[in-house]
Amino acid sequence: MSISTSNAIATVDLSFGWKSTAPVLDKCTLSVPKGEFWMLLGTNGSGKSTLLKLLAGLLTPQSGQIQLNGKVGFVFQNPDHQLVMPTVGADVAFGLVSENLSHIETQARVFDALSAVNLQGLHRRPIYALSGGQKQRIAIAGAIARQADILILDEPTALLDADSQSDLVVEVRRLVKEQSLTALWVTHRLNELDYADGAFLLKQGKVTDRGNPARLKRLLTD
Ligand SMILES: Nc1ncnc2c1ncn2[C@@H]1O[C@H](COP(=O)(O)OP(=O)(O)O)[C@@H](O)[C@H]1O
Ligand SMILES: [Mg+2]
């Protein structure tokens, strides 16, 4: 397999099924260029979360290949399933435990990551006191502190109100561009396509359409 190094994420003929009869992903091939913000669309049950879990290494493909050019950070739909420590600073630092950094290095990483998501003032804030949108930004800060290059976000705005929804998509686009990250974002909200560099449509286990997000938005709105 040769995959261009200009892609941060690539899959080739990726297949996965929970039962042998009905594959969820059926020779699914896609690629996301480095430094771009792409969205993944598809009806409920079309396999979007399964695809992201395969990319994150949480599931093992039955066949096919995955190539990731960089470290992956995963952001769940529900941040309450992701944030585990009592305060913001402790939560972001918790993700760094395995790296055996000094206290000073850890604090610097946490500070930089919180600054990246514009929440540097919330270091000591209890997690329970955050809004849903702030929680998602803390989950993203956790990935940035671990020096993730690739953000994989599974319906990160599904539980947010309309204002926090549009703030988050703007924020992630800014981060991708300013920090040279790559992001793959699953959504049902077609207005979010306005912020994407490109989009995929997943249907019956394959990418059936890809490319210009404005075109896909029109296609799915009609
Ligand atoms: N843990 C699981 N065990 C068995 N089947 C599952 C499991 N998770 C998802 N599925 C099935 O796999 C298919 C794809 O699910 P999913 O990837 O969650 O879709 P989407 O995220 O697009 O809504 C669905 O038919 C779903 O019922
Ligand atoms: Mg899903």
Q: What is the mean pLDDT of residues 205-220?
A: 96
The pLDDT score that the predictor gives to residue 222 is 77
The verdict on residue 199 lying in a domain is yes
Helix (H, G, I), strand (E, B) or coil at 206: strand
Residues near 130 by beta carbon (within 8 Å), at least 6 away in sequence: 88, 122, 138
The verdict on residue 19 lying in a domain is yes
Q: pLDDT higher for 60 or 4? A: 60
Nearest CA to ligand 1 atom 4: 18
Number of structural domains, the chain?
A: 1
Pocket test for ligand 1, best of 14, 15, 20, 24 (most atoms within 8 A of CB): 24
Q: Is pLDDT above 90 for 134?
A: yes
**Average pLDDT of the chain, as a whole number:** 94
Q: What is the mean pLDDT of residues 134-146?
A: 96
Query: What's 221's domain CATH number?
Result: 3.40.50.300
The CA distance from 118 to 134, in Å, is 10
The verdict on residue 211 lying in a domain is yes
The verdict on residue 21 lying in a domain is yes
Query: What pLDDT band is residue 20 in, cutting at 50, 70 and 90?
Result: low
For residue 215, the enclosing domain spans 1-70+184-222
The amino acid present at 42, given as its one-letter code, is G
DSSP secondary structure letter of residue 122: G
Q: Please state the atom number of ligand 1 nearest to the C-alpha of residue 51.
A: 17
- pLDDT tens digits for 79-133? 999 999 999 999 999 999 999 999 999 999 999 999 999 999 999 999 999 999 9
Among candidate residues 214, 181, 188, 210, the one with its CA nearest the CA of residue 49: 188
pTM of the full predicted structure?
0.94
The verdict on residue 189 lying in a domain is yes
The verdict on residue 221 lying in a domain is yes
Q: Is pLDDT above 80 for 199?
A: yes
The pLDDT score that the predictor gives to residue 4 is 66
Q: Is pLDDT above 80 for 171?
A: yes
The verdict on residue 110 lying in a domain is no
Look up residue 33 and give its two tokens: 């260029």
Strand partners, 210: 200
The CA distance from 202 to 49, in Å, is 11
Which is it for strands 198-203 and 206-211: parallel, antiparallel or unpaired?
Answer: antiparallel
Q: Is pLDDT above 60 for 3?
A: no
- pLDDT tens digits for 27-72? 999 999 999 999 999 999 999 999 999 999 999 999 999 999 999 9
Q: Do 10 and 36 meet the contact criterion of CB atoms below 8 Å apart?
A: no
The pLDDT score that the predictor gives to residue 5 is 74
Nearest CA to ligand 1 atom 3: 18
The verdict on residue 55 lying in a domain is yes
